Amino acid sequence: MSSKKHPSANNTYETERLILRPMSREDKDFVFELYNRPKFIQHIGNRNVNSIEDAENYILNRFAPQIERLGFGNYLLVTKDGNEKVGAVGIFEREGLDIVDIGYSLLEEFEGKGYAFEAAHKVKSIGMDDFGLTKISAIISKDNVSSQKLIEKLGLKFKKHVTLPGETEELNYYETE
């Protein structure tokens, strides 16, 4: 028998240096800080998280329903050594995309340490191995070269340019082969 057990929505995962746990309302302060960083707004966009209450509502209305419905979603990244909240990674259903996409963001002070790749690699394997996803996509702004390199290192290939519904920016679209 090879029936795959459907993973729990509350699963916490580990990599060599990180703990990945589902984003929860207790992370509202962190989400507020991360989503208002200039680099986040430049590369990912303004999500109109203008207060701690907005951050809590974003978690409850955007992240929680997807995790409950699909079992996967947005995960907080916490270092094992120091218990610091450093960023987020996830696989998301996104309007305008037929295939779920992988996304990640770190506080600038934790960039360049390999955390984003480590976390994205883990989430990709969770999606494909644990949840049976056959394809994962990624959308990246054209000027975000470091993120493009990370996605290519993950094994996704550039396919085309896309513009999401309600947006004006043309993005690079990548997909697993």
pLDDT in tens, 146-167: 999 999 999 999 999 999 998 8
Question: Which CA distances in Å does 28 have to 56, 69, 129, 176?
Answer: 5, 21, 30, 32
Structure token pair of residue 103: 């996304």
Instruction: Identify each DSSP E strand in 101-146 by its residue range.
Output: 101-106, 137-141
Query: pTM of the entire structure?
Result: 0.92
Structure token pair of residue 111: 């960039």
Q: What does the alpha-carbon distance between residue 59 and residue 175 come to, in Å, rounded to a whole number?
A: 26
Spans of all domains in the chain: 13-176
Q: What does the alpha-carbon distance between residue 148 and residue 139 come to, in Å, rounded to a whole number?
A: 9
Q: Which CATH number fits domain 13-176: 3.60.10.10, 3.40.630.30, 3.40.50.10800, 3.40.50.300?
A: 3.40.630.30
Mean pLDDT per 10-residue interval, the chain, length 177 residues: 49 96 96 96 92 98 93 96 97 94 97 97 96 96 95 98 92 96
Backbone angles phi, psi at 23, to 5 degrees: -65, 135
